[in-house]
Amino acid sequence: MSLSDVSKRLLLGRKLRSTQLGETLLPKRIALPVFASDALSSVAYAPDEILLTLSLAGLAAYAYSWKIALLVAVVMLVVVASYRQNVRAYPSGGGDYEVATVNLGPNAGLTVASALLVDYVLTVAVSISSGVQNAKSVFPFIDGHEGWVAAIAALLLMALNLRGVRESGTFFAIPTYCFMVGILGMVGYGLFRILVLDQNVQAHSAQYGIEPDPRFAAFNGFLMVALLARAFSSGCAALTGVEAISNGVPAFRKPKSRNAATTLLLLGTISVTMLIGVITLANLTNLKLIDLGHSYYTLNGQRVDVLEETAIGQLARAVFYDNFRPGFYFVIAATMIILFLAANTAFNGFPVLGSILARDGYLPRQLHTRGDRLAYSNGILVLAFFAIVLILAFKADVTALIQLYVVGVFVSFTVSQLGMMRHWTRLLKTEHRPEVRGRMIRSRMINAVGLTMTGTVLVIVLLSKFAQGAYIAIIAMAVLFVIMKLIRRHYDAVAQETALVEGEDRMLPSRVRAIVLVSKLHKPTARALAFAKAARPSTLEALTVDVDPDETARLKKVWEEMGIDIPLKVVASPYREVTNPILDYVKNVRSESPRDVVTVYIPEYVVGHWWEQILHNQSALRLKGRLLFTPGVMVTSVPYLLSSSDKAERRMRRDDVPDVRRSLHR
């Protein structure tokens, strides 16, 4: 069973129960890597962000790094505990959007949805950018071209997804476990060398001093608080992706909720261990990071220009490069791969969320139906487009992108926890069994703590990052919210306009008057005439526009010679145009007998290539578009299949088989 099926299945929840997808369920050891790649991958950049933000205040501030990491860890554990309640309450895998919509109403749901859509774009941008930053440790020539390299990587990922990559659970499991082994192994071996073997393991950047940002150099009072808040907010990037498991409950083996909850706890523990481990090792190896352009490396008091490596790159180099070189490459490779996998999950999740929103009338309806490769492809293109815009605009600078990233996640966390509070309160109203009530009250307590915590972090994030870039994310969310709201309003208005009203005029039209449009007499026309005749309309006539008198005369002659028993009407066109004379004629027919339906038969060429489409049917298409605006008129296309259409049909059929079906057929 492919992963894409799983993740689609999860998010779509109940809807898919009827299909045969339901058979294979994931054991915890596969479910963990499948859902955790996004969450775990954020360990690749969260420690960097803590350290380089602190660097703005110089070396002294580094003393706070482990405290901030601990704080992030605490938030992580609280969020995990809260989501364990979500998982139990909503085993359908509806995710935060469902929790918010059900408990707090459509506006809350739409807020979460806007935040999630923006976050998918940022997941792609941040993950790929971080992957490229890490790649610099092995390919230093990337330095200075990060933006373009990351944009090309995003394009590749887009192309893969457009072609339809199907990863199996195992495909995800191996790199995720590699990443865990790599990071934890590096931390373990590093600590072993330092603490047990008492070796002097130093990061490359240990030799440098830091020239702080002059604004923060004093590092006291309000500015210090602001800087620590910013470092903490950036560190909270480690929490992105935690909510994925709550969307995935239906994919777990039974007992689903319990297994999901256990996996969530496992994920939280591993994440926290890795985060604290990396920060500890960074402190022990005197690793330094700078926020280039604001703080600088110094050597003997002079600014130096060094290739900036990520924390993981520097640590892997310090721990493994001279002792066990393969370990260095392994850690870098695993980090790069898990970051690209994290970006890939966004490519899977974005169209799925779009489909749910379309179902609820917030996005164009055709996005709802699965198997529509076109809609799915559009989702991938839109996601890739905005991600690439961000990557290029911020030159793949993870630090700059992170300023936009964390807001959405915490909006989603906070609204979801508020929803869960409501959920328990509502259930408690009707529940009377004391032992159940006890459990509910306990759950509500946990969600209350979660709400307080995530809400506080959201406020901190907003305050410390708004001007740094978070405002861009917030504007994007607001725009999405308004657009989706307007789409829904439009659909509602149309539904009201088109609703059948009891007792309203449902008079049946009495007769059908058929008109076959004729430009010349060839097989397509002959077919249209035959089909129209077979339909036995009340009246039937052929209509041609006299654009060229010679041609019209020729047509009339052939018409008579072939003995066609359908009258041929010729309408004049003094201005050598086609559309208006036909429209006028049809309107006239219609007004002569308003109770009849007029059906206009248009012979159409069916061709195989897009460029053939340009050469044919353009007038027919235009005419059709205009005829549809005439009340009481139907337009019937009578296709004539040119030989080139044959291959195209097979090609389309192949392309059109939905991913799901194709992957099952393998």
604 interacts with a copy of itself by CB under 8 A: yes
Only segment of 70-78, 412-420, 466-474, 615-623 that touches a copy of itself (CB under 8 A): 615-623
610 interacts with a copy of itself by CB under 8 A: no
- List, in sequence order, the alpha helices (H) in 44-168: 46-54, 65-89, 95-104, 106-135, 146-163
654 interacts with a copy of itself by CB under 8 A: no
626 interacts with a copy of itself by CB under 8 A: yes
Judge if the upstream peptide bond of residue 255 is cis by omega within 30 degrees of 0: yes
Residue 245 or 638 having the CB closest to a copy of itself: 638
Q: Which one among 382, 580, 590, 593 touches a copy of itself, defined by CB under 8 A?
A: 580
Residue 455: both structure tokens together: 């809400």
16 interacts with a copy of itself by CB under 8 A: yes
Q: In the block, which residue shows the tokens 């003393």?
A: 63
257 interacts with a copy of itself by CB under 8 A: no
| Strand 597-606 with 512-517, pairing | parallel
Q: How far is the CB of 379 from a copy of itself (least distance, A)?
A: 14
Q: How far is the CB of 369 from a copy of itself (least distance, A)?
A: 5
Does residue 133 contact residue 310 with C-beta atoms inside 8 Å? yes
* Closest to 335 measured CA to CA, from 41, 126, 139: 41
Q: How far is the CB of 557 from a copy of itself (least distance, A)?
A: 14
The residues in 460-519 that bind a copy of itself, with binding defined as CB under 8 A, are 487, 490-491, 494-495, 497-500, 506, 508-512
Q: Which one among 305, 432, 629, 665 touches a copy of itself, defined by CB under 8 A?
A: 629
CA 198 to chain centre: 48
221 interacts with a copy of itself by CB under 8 A: no
Residue 16 or 289 having the CB closest to a copy of itself: 16
Q: How far is the CB of 23 from a copy of itself (least distance, A)?
A: 13
Q: Which one among 184, 579, 590, 593 touches a copy of itself, defined by CB under 8 A?
A: 579
The residues in 523-562 that bind a copy of itself, with binding defined as CB under 8 A, are 523-524, 526, 530-531, 533-537, 547-549, 562
Residue 170 or 618 having the CB closest to a copy of itself: 618
The residues in 347-406 that bind a copy of itself, with binding defined as CB under 8 A, are 364-366, 369-372, 374
144 interacts with a copy of itself by CB under 8 A: no
Burial classification of residue 133, based on how many CB atoms lie within 10 Å of its CB (0-12 exposed, 13-18 middle, 19 or more buried): buried
- Alpha-carbon gap, residue 139 to 120, rounded angstroms: 28
586 interacts with a copy of itself by CB under 8 A: no
Query: Interhelix angle for 398-430 vs 106-135, to 10°?
Result: 150
Q: How far is the CB of 171 from a copy of itself (least distance, A)?
A: 22
599 interacts with a copy of itself by CB under 8 A: yes
Q: What are the φ/ψ torsions at residue 584 (nearest 5 degrees)?
A: -60, -45
Strand runs labelled E in 519-652:
539-546, 568-572, 597-606, 633-641
Only segment of 57-65, 257-265, 438-446, 653-661 that touches a copy of itself (CB under 8 A): 653-661
Residue 597: strand pairing partners: 512
Residue 168 or 637 having the CB closest to a copy of itself: 637
Q: Coil, strand, or helix at residue 252?
A: strand
Residue 605: strand pairing partners: 640
Residue 220 or 496 having the CB closest to a copy of itself: 496
Encode 369-388: b = buried (16+ Cβ within 10 Å), e = exposed: ebebeebbbbbbebbbebbb
Q: How far is the CB of 562 from a copy of itself (least distance, A)?
A: 8
656 interacts with a copy of itself by CB under 8 A: yes
597 interacts with a copy of itself by CB under 8 A: yes
Which distant-in-sequence residues (6+ apart) come within 8 Å of 302 by Cβ?
none
Residue 201 or 638 having the CB closest to a copy of itself: 638
Residue 201: both structure tokens together: 């393991």
Only segment of 232-240, 241-249, 455-463, 568-576 that touches a copy of itself (CB under 8 A): 568-576
CA 601 to chain centre: 43
Q: How far is the CB of 564 from a copy of itself (least distance, A)?
A: 10
Does residue 102 contact residue 266 with C-beta atoms inside 8 Å? no
Residue 569 or 616 having the CB closest to a copy of itself: 616
Only segment of 22-30, 90-98, 401-409, 616-624 that touches a copy of itself (CB under 8 A): 616-624
- Alpha-carbon gap, residue 92 to 94, rounded angstroms: 6
431 interacts with a copy of itself by CB under 8 A: no
619 interacts with a copy of itself by CB under 8 A: yes
Q: How far is CA 34 from CA 172, 177, 288, 443, in A?
A: 6, 10, 33, 27
Residue 197 or 499 having the CB closest to a copy of itself: 499
622 interacts with a copy of itself by CB under 8 A: yes
639 interacts with a copy of itself by CB under 8 A: yes
Residue 415 or 623 having the CB closest to a copy of itself: 623
Which distant-in-sequence residues (6+ apart) come within 8 Å of 102 by Cβ?
94, 419, 423
- Alpha-carbon gap, residue 132 to 396, rounded angstroms: 8
323 interacts with a copy of itself by CB under 8 A: no
Provide the residue type at 116 as one letter.
L
652 interacts with a copy of itself by CB under 8 A: yes
Residue 321: both structure tokens together: 């490069």
63 interacts with a copy of itself by CB under 8 A: no
DSSP state for residue 212 in the 8-state scheme? -
CB count in 10 Å sphere of residue 391? 27
Q: How far is the CB of 534 from a copy of itself (least distance, A)?
A: 4
- Alpha-carbon gap, residue 195 to 360, rounded angstroms: 57
13 interacts with a copy of itself by CB under 8 A: no
215 interacts with a copy of itself by CB under 8 A: no
Q: Which one among 95, 634, 654, 665 touches a copy of itself, defined by CB under 8 A?
A: 634
- Alpha-carbon gap, residue 102 to 392, rounded angstroms: 38
Q: How far is the CB of 664 from a copy of itself (least distance, A)?
A: 9
Q: How far is the CB of 25 from a copy of itself (least distance, A)?
A: 19
DSSP state for residue 197 in the 8-state scheme? S
Residue 90: both structure tokens together: 């909503």
Q: How far is the CB of 349 from a copy of itself (least distance, A)?
A: 17
Q: How far is the CB of 558 from a copy of itself (least distance, A)?
A: 9
Size of the site for a copy of itself (CB under 8 A): 90
Residue 294 or 616 having the CB closest to a copy of itself: 616
Residue 259 or 525 having the CB closest to a copy of itself: 525
Which distant-in-sequence residues (6+ apart) come within 8 Å of 157 by Cβ?
124, 128, 340, 343, 344, 347, 384
**Helix, strand and coil percent figures for the chain, each rounded to 5:** 70, 10, 20
- Alpha-carbon gap, residue 666 to 655, rounded angstroms: 15
Residue 197 or 500 having the CB closest to a copy of itself: 500
